Amino acid sequence: MNPELFHADLEAKPSALADLAAWLEKEPLTLPEGLRRVVFLGMGSSRYAAGVAALRLRARGFDAYAEYGSAAATFPAGPETLVVPISATGGSRETLDALARYAGGPSPVVALTNVEGSKIAEGADQVIPMLAGEERGGVACRTFQHTLVLLLALESRLTGAARDIPELVRRAAAATSDLLDRRDDWLATALELLDGAHGVYAIAPAERMSSAEQSALMVREGPRRPADACESGDWSHVDVYLTKTLDYRALLFPGSRYDEQAMDWVRQRGSTVLTVGGHVEGERASIRYRHDDDPDVALLTETLVAELVAAHWWRAA
Ligand SMILES: O=P(O)(O)OC[C@H]1O[C@](O)(CO)[C@@H](O)[C@@H]1O
């Protein structure tokens, strides 16, 4: 893994998204007919993206689950159950092991990967390419963003919503460019506010939980600092306890009806909260960007803040 190349991978996000939007315009996803259930399989950031996709599908009345590839058992195979193994590298052992339980069976298998001809493609009936280009830094960042896009496209196809996903991707590219172009206005503040003795906490609503999880992963994977993720409502049952004893510093992605409940404790305990894409009372600072009022753009874009913070600390280490 290499911090300079990771940084370059982040800089290339807008152009990779533009290519993905153009591809989606030309190649609408095709799926087998008669599906009633979806089982996503993955590890790390691939599973984070799947968790949000499954929640969204369930909210639209579709049976959907995001499982760890490493779980010893997952949903039984059947012709109405679509199995979607997700692996950017196409080689995570746990995801391949889970896929092996379905390969050649009654479930259709549609794999998502960024590496053509990788192991994961061998057990799949169909492969959807992530089209994120090579991540030379060795850290999944563009692939995470593209996985989310493709899972939104899958959702649109499964639910018959017929959403204009290419247009959403172009808006996310504009939002991403805006954050990159204006980083001199916000990055120094973010670095200062999040740099504490006890690590970084990331908080997001359930519908964008992947943003908190991926943000915490970036801080662990690059600069190897302690970091963790918490859901905004769950925060009052889980992370609130840390605010009494730690120098608690958090990145908050607003949008939950329970933000204020958490912020009440944050204000009382004098903890540090930096918001991304919106405001809450008691924040120390806020990072705004183009189209941040659209929750789907936010889902696709907001992890860039933690990724750039992680890249900076990693390069300086
Ligand atoms: O999507 P993949 O390639 O299976 O990787 C899963 C996870 O493993 C890592 O590659 C780290 O080993 C992460 O970057 C990623 O989140």
Dump the DSSP string for 30-85: ---SS--EEEEEE-HHHHHHHHHHHHHHHHTT-EEEEEETT-S--PPP-TTEEEEE
User: Are domains 3-164 and 182-316 of this chain identical in fold?
Assistant: yes
Where residue 28 falls among pLDDT bands split at 50, 70, 90? Answer: confident
Domain boundaries, the chain: 3-164, 182-316
Amino acid 317: pLDDT: 87
Protein residues whose CB sits closer than 6 Å to any atom of ligand 1: 43-46, 87-89, 92, 95, 139-140
Q: Which atom of ligand 1 is nearest to the CA of 95?
A: 4
ipTM of the complex: 0.95
Ligand 1 pocket test: pick from 9, 89, 142, 150 the residue with the most ligand atoms within 8 Å of its Cβ: 89
Q: Return the structure tokens found at 242.
A: 């840390």
Which residues, at least 6 apart from 316, have a Cβ–Cβ distance to it below 8 Å? Answer: none
Q: How far is the CA of 250 from the centre of ligand 1 (A)?
A: 24
> 93-105: per-residue pLDDT in tens?
999 999 999 999 9
Which pLDDT value is given to residue 162? 86
CATH classification number, 182-316, choose in 3.10.350.10, 3.40.50.10490, 3.30.200.20, 1.10.10.10: 3.40.50.10490
Average pLDDT, the chain: 97
The strand pairing partners of 38, in sequence order, are 64, 82
Mutate to test the pocket of ligand 1, among 46, 48, 151 (most ligand atoms within 8 A of CB): 46
Is-contact 278 294, C-beta < 8 A? no
- Confidence (pTM): 0.97
Whether the CB-CB separation of 312 and 187 falls below 8 Å is answered with yes
Please identify, by atom number, the ligand 1 atom nearest to the C-alpha of residue 143.
1
3-164 belongs to CATH 1.20.1260.10? no
* Nearest protein Cα to ligand 1, atom 2: 87
Task: Compute the distance from residue 247 Cα to the ligand 1 centre, in Å.
Answer: 30
pLDDT, average across residues 68-83? 96
